Structure 1
Amino acid sequence: MTAEPLATHRLLLVHAHPDDESIGQGATMAKYVAEGRGVTLVTCTAGEMGEILVPELEHLAADKDDKLGEHRKGELAKAMETLGVTDHRFLGGFGTYRDSGMKWHADGHAVAADTLHENAFWHADLTEAANHLVTVIREVRPQVLVTYDQFGGYGHPDHIQAHRVAMYAAQLAAVPSYRLDLGEPWEIAKIYWGAMSETRMRDSLRAIRATGDTTTFEGMDPDGEMGPFVTPDDQLAARVDATEYVDVKMAALRAHRTQIEEDGFFFSGAESGHAFWGDEYFRLAKGTQGPVGDDGLENDLFAGLA
């Protein structure tokens, strides 16, 4: 049996839990699939500790039946079907690493929960976890990798750990003499960290507040301190305009129904005309920025690559 030929352009995304991918890069994923580019998603945990927003499914919670991970696996599969992504995997296989949970720090960002499960991702051996990803990298041979920044966006321990694993695995995968039993060495040309434009966030907040809505992004002032959740525009390298696929992204978000409220800000924002979910922003962590548009940003993560 002959293996399927690899797509010319191949993107690998590393995310912590089901739903993170659709929130962060769902539109980009759908766009690239539609363009015939290869898209592979690696999810590090099944999100077993997530909050359940569907009352009739509350029995799945970790402190009850502890079946949320299995359920979210199904939600992820549905979301990927919606986006058209056929290659999605769990790091090391389903159940290898468990959602670490989190709590909120007084400063407004996430930190590790007080009690962690024995196979919580936050406690994963870095080399062991990275080796699982090295195998995927050497099989898929992506030119572009997308993951979180060093703070995981908002401090969630699993996001931070996903960043560490992805960055370390990318290095190990390229070493000619490292673990050849994991595949032929492969160097990823460009690595991006998902980001939120500060200007875009402030403009959206102003539009939200102008409607009288004070609960969406509660406590955030469009003219005040934004914290680590957003990225100053001069640190951005790319903006993928996938507005043509924003409806597909919204449908993928709806698939994650235990985590995302159907009348929540993702959807109310879209309906009120001040959503920005079709534009997805990135910081360049490795590689050379390719040709840019009038805004000084790449419009394609593969810009500058053959």
Structure 2
Amino acid sequence: MTTLPGPSEDPGPALAPGDTAGAGTASHDALEAAADLVDDVAGELDPAGLESMERLDQPRRLLFVHAHPDDETIGTGGTMARYAQAGAAVTLLTATRGELGDIVPAELAHLGPDELAEHRTGELATAMEALGVEDHRFLVRRDGTGYRDSGMVWLRPGQAAVGEDVDPRSLAAADPEEVAQRIADVVREVRPQVVVTYEPGGGYGHPDHVRVHEATVRALVLAAGEDREQPDVVPWSVAKVYWSVQPESLARAGVRALAEAGAEGAADPDGPLPSAVVPDAEVTTVVDASGQTAAKLAALRAHATQLTLDLDAPVPAMRLSNGVPQALQPLEHFHLAHGVPGGPFDADGRETDLFAGIALS
């Protein structure tokens, strides 16, 4: 236990009123004692505790929670780059290493799940460098092992689901409460004011996306309460929670433009859309990331196992393994699921800043 130094046995002569002799020495000694006390207290904190204290020195802290490498760039890469460039503390938490993702380049088709995981980990590191995000981490169990990609099957175009043979080590097979607790641990450490993740349908129904959404929602409740397993951990409440979405009008306009341009594999402009596409009225927030286009394109290129870019086409697009083009957009859209909206607002009444309305200290 650290204690303050007590009085010395020989306090020395008392100072007469107005006598400043020795005052400088006394002040110096007091400062040294205070510095020693701070060092002692810091020494009693574990590295995670020290890092959490240091994070509070950064007034804006933002946590993105995604399922696989590439998800973060496709849906929120421009936003990540914009806030990182503006000096905010941006953290990316990825739940799996994407072991079962489809492989686009034929020359890499031989990669097995573990080899693909290692390759995609490298791609993610390169993408984060392009976006300027320095704090990236994978979600791990208490024993230090990671969660594996659960895979998926297509029910219909734009709608996926969990398959029949799921690895017991996968995210979908894990105890949901345990997954939520691991995310809560990161929330308490990072102490973000803002958290961004998927909407309830997981974008298009991928079981890992859905699990990440559900676990993140639960994690924020756990993080705000007392932790029985770690009673010394300070609770943390997040001010705003966003879901990554797309407005229906913009999504259909992009599909229609691709179809009219004769893009190979273009979807039906009037066909069904994935769950990430919501009615325009449900879009509460838009981030203009046009200034970060170069950074996002570089990050997309880094995820070469998962997608290709067609930038010379009449409508610049990205293609995933299914070959369906998706028009590239400079704006990224969100639904405010928790918190109070704040200005400035655009002409449609949507927020333009994820931190709007938050009192920053």
- Calculate the TM-score normalised by the size of structure 1: 0.90
SS at match of 1:196: strand
- Tell me the number of residue pairs that the alignment of Structure 1 and Structure 2 aligns: 298
Partner residue of 2:151?
Answer: 101
Partner residue of 1:34?
Answer: 85
Partner residue of 2:353?
Answer: 300
Deviates more, 1:204-213 or 1:46-55: 204-213
Which residue type is aligned with residue 131 of structure 2? L
Rg larger in structure = 2
* Structure 1 CA distance for aligned equivalents of residues 145 and 260 of structure 2: 45
| Distance of aligned partners of 1:107 and 1:269 in 2 relative to their CA distance in 1, 3 Å threshold | closer
Q: How does 1:168-183 map to 2 (within 5 A)?
A: 168-176=218-226, 178-181=228-231, 183=233
Identical residues among aligned pairs (%): 46
Q: How does 1:128-207 map to 2 (within 5 A)?
A: 128-176=178-226, 178-181=228-231, 183-207=233-257
Partner residue of 1:56?
Answer: 107
Partner residue of 2:122?
Answer: 74
Partner residue of 2:21?
Answer: none
Q: What displacement does 1:184 show?
A: 0.8
Task: Tell me if structure 2 keeps the 8 A contact 1:266–1:275.
Answer: no
* Structure 2 CA distance for aligned equivalents of residues 182 and 211 of structure 1: 60
Task: Tell me if structure 2 keeps the 8 A contact 1:148–1:163.
Answer: yes
Task: Tell me if structure 2 keeps the 8 A contact 1:100–1:122.
Answer: yes
Q: What displacement does 1:21 show?
A: 0.1
Partner residue of 1:13?
Answer: 64
Q: What displacement does 1:165 show?
A: 1.0
Deviation by residue 1:236-280 (Cα, 9 ceiling, x = unmatched):
110000110011101001101100124489996159xx9443200
* Structure 1 CA distance for aligned equivalents of residues 66 and 86 of structure 2: 22
Partner residue of 2:340?
Answer: 288
Tell me: higher relative CO, structure 1 or 2? Use CA pairs within 8 A at least 6 residues apart: 1
> Does structure 1 residue 234 correspond to structure 2 residue 281?
yes
Task: Tell me if structure 1 keeps the 8 A contact 2:255–2:327.
Answer: no
* Structure 2 CA distance for aligned equivalents of residues 305 and 205 of structure 1: 36
Q: What displacement does 1:174 show?
A: 0.2
Task: Tell me if structure 1 keeps the 8 A contact 2:261–2:315.
Answer: no
| Distance of aligned partners of 1:301 and 1:108 in 2 relative to their CA distance in 1, 3 Å threshold | closer
SS at match of 1:280: strand
* Structure 2 CA distance for aligned equivalents of residues 300 and 117 of structure 1: 40
* Structure 1 CA distance for aligned equivalents of residues 312 and 88 of structure 2: 30
Deviates more, 1:191-200 or 1:89-98: 89-98
Deviation by residue 1:107-142 (Cα, 9 ceiling, x = unmatched):
641011221112110011112111111111111100
> Does structure 1 residue 87 correspond to structure 2 residue 140?
no
RMSD between superposed Cα atoms in Å: 2.3
Deviation by residue 1:143-166 (Cα, 9 ceiling, x = unmatched):
000001111010000000000111
* Structure 2 CA distance for aligned equivalents of residues 164 and 148 of structure 1: 9
* Structure 1 CA distance for aligned equivalents of residues 149 and 179 of structure 2: 14
Deviates more, 1:258-267 or 1:161-170: 258-267
Task: Tell me if structure 1 keeps the 8 A contact 2:180–2:218.
Answer: yes
| Distance of aligned partners of 1:163 and 1:305 in 2 relative to their CA distance in 1, 3 Å threshold | same
> Does structure 1 residue 259 correspond to structure 2 residue 306?
yes
Deviates more, 1:231-240 or 1:199-208: 199-208
Structure 1 residue runs without a partner (length 5+): none
Instruction: Identify which of 285, 288, 294 aligns with 1:247.
Output: 294
Task: Tell me if structure 2 keeps the 8 A contact 1:78–1:255.
Answer: yes
Task: Tell me if structure 2 keeps the 8 A contact 1:240–1:300.
Answer: yes
| Distance of aligned partners of 1:182 and 1:16 in 2 relative to their CA distance in 1, 3 Å threshold | farther
* Structure 1 CA distance for aligned equivalents of residues 271 and 150 of structure 2: 31
